[in-house]
Amino acid sequence: MNTTRIGPSLLAADFARLAEDIGRVERGGADFLHLDVMDGHFVPNISFGLPVVAAVRQTTRLELDTHLMLQNPLPFIGPFKEAGADSLVVHVELESTQAVLDAIRQHGLQCGLAVNPNTPVSALYPYLDELDSALVMSVEPGFGGQAFQPAALDKIRDLCAEIERRGLDIPVGIDGGVQPGNAADCRRAGAQCLVAGSAVFNSPDPARVIANLRG
């Protein structure tokens, strides 16, 4: 059975028809929605926040995988849980990584940790025992529609090898520029969760794209 999970990135949706777009990808077989929350400080862009997450929660039964690209996510963990997030993904590049992971756990949420392209994947290793998922960024976070960086594939291989060496069960995801043309490479490298924005939401046939991504 194919265990690859596909998470369309909401950043690529048409926000004027958000409920309709979410319905399209949900009917098309999406496994979860990936919600990129940006503060204009940790990344050079601003996206959306708590009201949009709460509105999306009312629109879909899909898991809301909420990616907090925030300079200081700690005060927002409780509010994002209340808004309907199922899992929170934060970045290993934060100065307060351990405190944030502890808080996510305390709030009973699934806990993910992401690593940026310029950060060695080994930065995730000290936290692996505490994670429900790990996310390798294959673009610089902040903007959708960027070109895929193939160097992320080596990071995934190394990360999967370390997870296996420790006997852990942590799904590894990849986020950024993922589309049907590189999805097979991502899966072969070991990625189990593929986050794809433009490839899914910009397609007239999301079901076909999602099936191609899943392989």
Please identify every residue annotated as catalytic.
36, 175
- What residue spans of 144-179 are helical by DSSP H? 151-165
The 3-state DSSP class for residue 151 equals: helix
How far is residue 196's CA from residue 116's CA, in Å, rounded to a whole number? 16
With tokens 């050079």, the residue in question is 44
With tokens 């979860």, the residue in question is 32
The 3-state DSSP class for residue 65 equals: strand
Pull the structure tokens for residue 35.
């919600």
Q: Is the dihedral of CA 185, 173, 69, 167 positive or negative?
A: negative
3-state helix, strand, coil in the chain (%, to 5): 45, 20, 35
- From the list 97, 96, 175, 113, the residue with the least C-alpha distance to 141 is 175
